Amino acid sequence: MANKLYASLNYFDLYFTRQDVDSVPSSGQCDDAVKIIAKKPYIKRQFANIDNSKLIKELSEYGAWDNVELQDKQANIERVIWLGCSEIKENLFE
């Protein structure tokens, strides 16, 4: 896949396309965009290799979700997609 953009999170790295990153709004509601990205085969393959305990560990460091919320792997995947795309956007503008 051409044009990969990498997000280096604390416990794993992910790649996205420029289109993925551009589709996630910098502010406001981004749930719909993140859900679309989460369905893409190359995204599903990446998350198949990351178990929920790693996602929980990553997300726990932000302190934005409680232990009950963090048990939902699909929600965690979507949260991490949002974080990853946001990190890439920040790096592109530096």
List per-block mean pLDDT (blocks of 10 residues) for the chain, which spans 94 residues: 85 95 88 96 96 95 92 96 94 75
List the one residue out of 23, 5, 29, 26 whose CA is nearest residue 15: 5
Closest Cα to residue 38, out of 90, 75, 11?
Answer: 75
| pLDDT at residue number 92 | 80
pLDDT for res 94: 62
Residue with tokens 């420029």: 18
pLDDT given for residue 14 in this prediction: 96
Tell me the whole-structure pTM to 2 decimals: 0.92
